[in-house]
């Protein structure tokens, strides 16, 4: 008994003594509850000014804490973003550059360090790093990309198919883990939603939402990629090219033939079979609800016989409705978790973060998907609440990165941040609004080309408050944007002589950042 008590209390006791400067004051380390969705754009969050959707629970975190208006990822794609989160290091150092890589799970991560310091650590939901999670007392992850209905989980090493809607299941597992946690330890819980990742399959309870709404087209919907023909114009991620089956949920007897490549010509050849397999994951009860909604859409689509821009705009409306319905489940999940914290006296001492593994295109530039260093996918939403130490109602325009999560959590837990972590702790900004010596530029590097999806060429770049310089280095193509004059990034002004000095400064800054982060373009 005494030994057990020592095992649970000793690490916390030591933390308290060491970090209270050997005084008798005992600091209680905060709990960390990190909620990350997949591909959730700021354009679809009401506290970020969205007119498309109301997200009251995400907004609640922002209102009771802080919202970042300039938060970015370092490599805008699923697996790499997760590797940056865990390690606090850029992709070239953590080794996970694109989705084909395997995460080296022997490397140091912040959950491992928190576990060592006495935290109980959990990860629930999407993992997508291919290797087995390490540093977690409890891991229940979706296998691969995961499915929206009746998903296959890997639960502490064992496969388990769970019946239901994935966002709800992840929420149930989170509450179960909170309920069963050790009450003597602080917890660190990573909750990683699959939603709203492609192919955007909503929960039946939200099928009727947005039903009669016609969403306005984004300003750049009909972008022709002038001055960016070989980069933006080369990408294969136009809504025009979405699959009628997999993306838009039409059955093959309701259209003549599949359209476009959907971002991957190899997948296109078997997309209808893939969609059928996904549809058939649903049980009879789920299919009944699904068909009750989508059969009507299939019939109307066939009858309308749409062509050209009318067909394209129909695809956009369908895409938006399903994407936003998936987000309604995410917001509902956050509300349930926040309520649990309230009801169990955990709200005050728990840091709650909501973010996404990157942004997404909701029709801007005619696109869906991510990858580019352009604003919509470079940005990630970031709201943080910690009532005990973070004043409410703050909005910060300082540049935060997903690189900063690991050092921030370690800092709050009073655990030493390893020297090779490349991000910076946000703690001083969050608690004291101290902004001295904070970064004035951010560095970006994307790698997944020519393999994989969507044909976005490799690029690196630098963004400052006012400008962005991007180098598509395999083709030696440069792009420069004036973010104040051209926030939609429609005009590449790299060759404009009036920007020669700015170009030069940004190139120097790009070199400086590459040196600092030990990266190169090749
Ligand atoms: Ca993602």
CA of 193 to the centre of ligand 1 (A): 10
pLDDT over 70 at 4, yes or no: no
Tell me whether residue 22 is exposed, middle or buried, using C-beta atoms within 10 angstroms of its C-beta: 0 to 12, 13 to 18, 19 or more: exposed
Please report, for the domain that includes residue 97, its CATH number: 3.40.720.10
Residues 176 and 259 both lie in one domain? no
CA of 26 to the centre of ligand 1 (A): 40
CA of 497 to the centre of ligand 1 (A): 37
pLDDT tier at 435, thresholds 50, 70, 90 = confident
CA of 391 to the centre of ligand 1 (A): 30
Residues 272 and 353 both lie in one domain? no
Residues 169 and 218 both lie in one domain? no
Residues 244 and 170 both lie in one domain? no
Counted domains in the chain: 2
Residue in 303, 106, 183, 164 with CA at minimum distance from that of residue 95: 106
Whole-model pTM over 0.85: yes
Residues 83 and 48 both lie in one domain? yes
Residues 219 and 172 both lie in one domain? no
CA of 466 to the centre of ligand 1 (A): 26
pLDDT tier at 227, thresholds 50, 70, 90 = very high
CA of 360 to the centre of ligand 1 (A): 8
Q: How far apart (Å, rounded) are the C-alpha atoms in residues 331 and 59?
A: 9
pLDDT over 50 at 241, yes or no: yes
Residue 469, in any domain of the structure: no
Q: How far apart (Å, rounded) are the C-alpha atoms in residues 443 and 507?
A: 12
CA of 498 to the centre of ligand 1 (A): 37
Considering only 152-156, 446-450, 485-489, 517-521, which range has the smallest mean pLDDT?
A: 517-521
Residues 284 and 340 both lie in one domain? no
CA distances (Å), 346 to each of 115, 141, 389, in order? 20, 24, 14
Residue 243, in any domain of the structure: yes
Whole-number pLDDT of residue 34: 99
Whole-number pLDDT of residue 522: 56
Average pLDDT, the chain: 94
Task: Write out the two tokens for 239.
Answer: 């809504």
CA of 38 to the centre of ligand 1 (A): 4
pLDDT over 50 at 1, yes or no: no
Structural domain of 286: 206-320
Residue 179, in any domain of the structure: yes
Residues 188 and 335 both lie in one domain? yes
Considering only 6-20, 271-285, 452-466, which range has the smallest mean pLDDT?
A: 6-20
Residues 360 and 234 both lie in one domain? no
Per-residue model confidence as pLDDT tens digits over 329-355: 999 999 999 999 999 999 999 999 999
Considering only 11-15, 253-257, 361-365, 450-454, which range has the smallest mean pLDDT?
A: 11-15
pLDDT over 50 at 208, yes or no: yes
Residue 395, in any domain of the structure: yes
Residues 342 and 397 both lie in one domain? yes
Yes or no: say if 488 and 219 are a contact pair by the CB < 8 Å rule. Answer: yes
The C-alpha angle 464, 469, 471, rounded to 5 degrees, equals: 145
CA of 237 to the centre of ligand 1 (A): 14
Residue 371, in any domain of the structure: yes
Residues 6+ apart with CB under 8 A from 495: none
Residue 59, in any domain of the structure: yes
Whole-number pLDDT of residue 25: 53
CA of 197 to the centre of ligand 1 (A): 6
CA of 16 to the centre of ligand 1 (A): 38
- Give the mean pLDDT of 306-320: 97
- Give the mean pLDDT of 467-482: 98
Whole-number pLDDT of residue 81: 98
Residue 18, in any domain of the structure: no
Per-residue model confidence as pLDDT tens digits over 405-425: 999 999 999 999 999 999 999
Per-residue model confidence as pLDDT tens digits over 8-31: 444 554 444 444 444 445 678 999
- Percentage, residues of the chain above pLDDT 90: 91
Whole-number pLDDT of residue 432: 84
Residues 194 and 210 both lie in one domain? no
CA of 87 to the centre of ligand 1 (A): 17
Q: What is the DSSP letter of 48?
A: G
pLDDT tier at 266, thresholds 50, 70, 90 = confident
Residue 452, in any domain of the structure: no
* Domain boundary residue, one of 434, 465, 495: 434
DSSP secondary structure of 225-280: -TT-TTTGGG---BGGG--TTTTT---GGGSSS--S-TT-HHHHTTHHHHHHHHHT
- Give the mean pLDDT of 439-458: 96
Whole-number pLDDT of residue 181: 98
* Domain boundary residue, one of 294, 320, 346: 320
- Give the mean pLDDT of 57-78: 98
State which H helix or E strand residue 173 sits in. Answer: helix 166-180
CA of 76 to the centre of ligand 1 (A): 8
Residues 294 and 335 both lie in one domain? no
CA of 92 to the centre of ligand 1 (A): 19
* Domain boundary residue, one of 305, 320, 335: 320
CA of 448 to the centre of ligand 1 (A): 14
CA of 359 to the centre of ligand 1 (A): 8
Q: List 350's β-bridge partners, or say none.
A: 31
- Give the mean pLDDT of 50-74: 98
CA of 138 to the centre of ligand 1 (A): 23
CA of 428 to the centre of ligand 1 (A): 29
């Amino acid at each position: 008994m005494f030994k057990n008590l020592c095992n649970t209390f000793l690490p916390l006791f030591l933390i308290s003594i060491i970090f209270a400067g050997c005084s008798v004051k005992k600091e209680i380390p905060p709990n960390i509850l990190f909620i990350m969705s997949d591909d959730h754009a700021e354009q679809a969050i009401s506290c970020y000014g969205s007119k498309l959707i109301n997200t009251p629970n995400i907004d609640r975190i922002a209102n009771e804490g802080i919202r970042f208006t300039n938060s970015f990822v370092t490599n805008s794609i699923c697996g790499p973003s997760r590797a940056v989160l865990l390690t606090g290091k850029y992709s070239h150092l953590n080794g996970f550059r694109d989705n084909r890589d395997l995460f080296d799970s022997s490397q140091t991560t912040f959950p491992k360090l928190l576990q060592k310091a006495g935290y109980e650590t959990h990860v629930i939901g999407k993992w997508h790093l291919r290797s087995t999670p390490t540093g977690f007392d409890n891991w229940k992850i979706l296998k691969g990309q995961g499915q929206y209905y009746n998903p296959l989980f890997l639960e502490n090493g064992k496969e388990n198919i769970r019946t239901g809607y994935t966002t709800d299941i992840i929420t149930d597992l989170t509450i179960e883990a909170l309920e069963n946690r050790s009450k003597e330890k602080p917890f660190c819980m990573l909750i990683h939603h699959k939603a709203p990742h492609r192919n955007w399959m909503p929960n039946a309870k939200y099928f009727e939402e947005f039903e009669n709404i016609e969403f306005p087209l984004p300003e750049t919907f009909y972008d022709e990629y002038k001055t960016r023909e070989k980069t933006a114009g080369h990408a294969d991620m136009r809504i025009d090219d979405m699959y009628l089956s997999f993306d838009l949920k039409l059955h093959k007897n309701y259209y003549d033939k599949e359209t476009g490549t959907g971002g991957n010509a190899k997948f296109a050849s078997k997309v209808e079979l893939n969609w059928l397999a996904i549809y058939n994951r649903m049980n009879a009860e789920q299919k009944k609800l699904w068909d009750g909604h989508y059969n009507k859409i299939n019939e109307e689509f066939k009858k309308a016989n749409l062509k050209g821009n009318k067909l394209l705009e129909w695809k956009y409306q369908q895409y938006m409705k399903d994407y936003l319905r998936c987000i309604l489940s995410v917001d509902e999940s956050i509300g349930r978790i926040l309520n649990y914290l309230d009801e169990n006296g955990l709200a005050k001492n728990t840091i709650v973060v909501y973010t996404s593994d990157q942004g997404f295109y909701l029709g801007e530039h005619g696109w869906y998907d991510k990858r580019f260093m352009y604003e919509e996918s470079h940005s990630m939403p970031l709201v943080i609440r910690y009532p005990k130490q973070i004043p409410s109602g703050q909005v910060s325009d300082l540049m935060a990165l997903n690189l900063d999560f690991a050092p921030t959590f370690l800092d709050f837990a009073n655990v030493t941040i390893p020297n090779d972590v490349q991000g910076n702790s946000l703690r001083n900004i969050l608690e004291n609004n101290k902004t001295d010596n904070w970064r004035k530029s951010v560095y970006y590097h994307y790698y997944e080309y020519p393999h994989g999806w969507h044909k976005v060429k490799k690029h690196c770049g630098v963004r400052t408050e006012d400008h962005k310089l991007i180098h598509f280095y395999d083709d030696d193509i440069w792009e420069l944007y004036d973010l104040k004059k051209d926030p939609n990034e429609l005009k590449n002004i790299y060759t404009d002589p009036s920007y020669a000095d700015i170009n030069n400064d940004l190139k120097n800054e790009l070199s400086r950042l590459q040196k600092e982060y030990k990266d190169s373009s090749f």
